[in-house]
Amino acid sequence: MPLFRLTESELVTRQDKWLFFLKNLESFDDIPSIFHEPVFEKAFDAAEYYKYSPKLQEAYQNDLKVYRDNRNVVETARIEGEKKGKAEGLAEAARNLKIMGFSLPDIAKATGLSIDEIKQLSER
């Protein structure tokens, strides 16, 4: 890209920025302030990744997979815990309403549980 001669202060368009980025990428120690946009930050991250050896890239990908797996396990556990807590809360409310003498249709309407589910609560 020998014909591209703009300096950082002369960059106006995104195309100017990309050409400057590509021409000078190897000389950057830090991300210049003009490139503090998500698209350029991703490009710098990709360039950082690809400068590593294939072995280090593989290790990074393995670590990233473990991180994502762990995050997904935690998120799944949280969602399942919320569902279980909600179900237990509805069951407790239904039991309390039943003890207070409310009719099964009223309890069903208040909790969203079916009459069969409410009947089973007293069997537990």
Question: In degrees rounded to 5, what are phi and psi of residue 19?
Answer: -65, -40
The string of pLDDT tens digits covering residues 36-52 is: 899 999 999 998 899 89
Q: What is the pTM assigned to this prediction? A: 0.55
The model's pLDDT over 63-91, given as tens digits with 9 standing for 90+, comes to: 999 999 999 999 999 999 999 999 999 99
For residues 79 and 69, the answer to whether their CB atoms sit within 8 Å is: no
Angle value at C-alpha 78, between 74 and 84, nearest 5 degrees = 140
